[in-house]
Amino acid sequence: MNILIFGAKGQVGMALILAAQNNNISSSVYPIGHAECDITNSEAVEKILKEYRSKLGRCMIVNAAGWTQVDDAEERVKETFETNWRGPLHLAQSAEKYGHDLIQLSTDYVFDGMQESPYTEESPVNPLSIYGLSKEAGERAVRASCNRHIILRTSWIFSLYGKSFIRKIIELAEKKDELTVVTDQIGSPTSASDLADAILRISSTCQNDFFQGWGTYHYAGAPSASWYEVACFVMTELSKHNLKSAKVIPATSADFKMKAPRPAKSILSCNKIYRQFSIQESDWKAAIRKEIKSIAAEKHD
Ligand SMILES: NC(=O)c1ccc[n+]([C@@H]2O[C@H](COP(=O)([O-])OP(=O)(O)OC[C@H]3O[C@@H](n4cnc5c(N)ncnc54)[C@H](OP(=O)(O)O)[C@@H]3O)[C@@H](O)[C@H]2O)c1
């Protein structure tokens, strides 16, 4: 199966390119960065999907492009919806028109975080923020416009590339002795590398003409934790490798004046993806250990 990655220079896009290299399938993966295609431009999207149809036949389109600045989204509503709603709409319409399949990345921010138990794919959505609303609108656009779609909701993505909470606290720990981190947001950190492997597995399974499992799935890390617990784990791992760490001070969301409200507890149940694709939750502690080990190897070289 040939795979076209939109938003190829972002965290997930880069992880997909690396995962393809590790699986020796780079020659069937086509990265398309923001500069090559702005997904808000319907003509640009259609041109690319049409070209690839005539060149390669049916492809898997992975939409890893998105407006991901959650706080900025509160003020830049139009740009956020253009990228997170109109962009997926264009991709879905052109994928349907040219006979491609589509994987659309979505988020736990479509939920309000008030549910005690893990959210399943059937749980009612109720986004709290502009980012969450725009991603939920993107999901609906994909469902309405492209039959062969997978909507993959995930959460708290981290990697050595791009911007992530974990990357940020590792950098901050180098400069500061104390970090203040919230205890009242609970979720599931997800390794971008594990997510990329899951996307490749889904793409490979979906290429079967008899595949019937199109729809919405959750994929995230386990076990769930608060940002505070994640930060403490990161600091312990840094110390084990004689890297500079910082003391983690517990705080609540009210102590930070963030523009966008976040779900307080958004744990994604990953049973459905296991049943359909035999994909297991990402082990975020193992992934963080591995990433810190590679940072230490670089530093101590
Ligand atoms: N990060 C998370 O914790 C998280 C959690 C759940 C779900 N997700 C979803 O997962 C997906 C990937 O997230 P990520 O962390 O990899 O994001 P990211 O690192 O911010 O990457 C997003 C990429 O999309 C590109 N992009 C933005 N607007 C575009 C447009 N109009 N046309 C084409 N490309 C555009 C960006 O390019 P520029 O930098 O040049 O603008 C960037 O390369 C997103 O859909 C996001 O909503 C993320």
In a domain, 105, yes or no: yes
Distance CA(239)–CA(246), nearest Å, equals 9
Find the CATH number of the domain harbouring 210: 3.40.50.720
Provide the whole-model pTM: 0.97
Q: What's the domain count of the chain?
A: 1
In a domain, 74, yes or no: yes
Distance CA(199)–CA(12), nearest Å, equals 10
pLDDT in tens, 228-242: 999 999 999 999 999
Q: pLDDT band at residue 160, thresholds of 50, 70 and 90? A: confident
Among candidate residues 30, 131, 217, 228, the one labeled active-site is 131
Mean pLDDT computed over 5-23: 97
pLDDT in tens, 258-273: 999 999 999 999 999 9
How would you classify the pairing of strands 157-158 and 101-107? unpaired
In a domain, 173, yes or no: no
Residue 169 has pLDDT above 90, yes or no: yes
In a domain, 115, yes or no: yes
Mean pLDDT computed over 283-298: 92
What pLDDT, on the 0 to 100 scale, is given for residue 21?
Answer: 97
Which atom of ligand 1 is found nearest the CA of 11? 16
Pocket of ligand 1 from Cβ distances under 6 Å: 6-7, 9-12, 34, 38-40, 64-68, 83, 87, 105, 107, 135, 154-157, 162
How would you classify the pairing of strands 221-222 and 59-63? unpaired
What pLDDT, on the 0 to 100 scale, is given for residue 155?
Answer: 97
What pLDDT, on the 0 to 100 scale, is given for residue 1?
Answer: 86
What pLDDT, on the 0 to 100 scale, is given for residue 142?
Answer: 98
Tokens of 118: 């893990």
Q: pLDDT band at residue 47, thresholds of 50, 70 and 90? A: very high
Which atom of ligand 1 is found nearest the CA of 14? 16
Mean pLDDT computed over 66-77: 97
Whether residue 154 contacts residue 195, with contact meaning beta carbons closer than 8 Å, is answered with yes
Rounded to the nearest integer, the mean pLDDT of the chain is: 96
In a domain, 171, yes or no: no
Which atom of ligand 1 is found nearest the CA of 108? 6
In a domain, 20, yes or no: yes
Residue 162 has pLDDT above 80, yes or no: no
Mean pLDDT computed over 107-123: 97
Interval between CA 64 and ligand 1 midpoint (Å): 6
Active site residue 131: yes
Q: pLDDT band at residue 298, thresholds of 50, 70 and 90? A: confident
In a domain, 178, yes or no: no
Range of the domain at 108: 2-160+190-221+267-282
In a domain, 24, yes or no: yes
Q: Percent helix, strand, coil in the chain (nearest 5)? A: 45, 20, 35
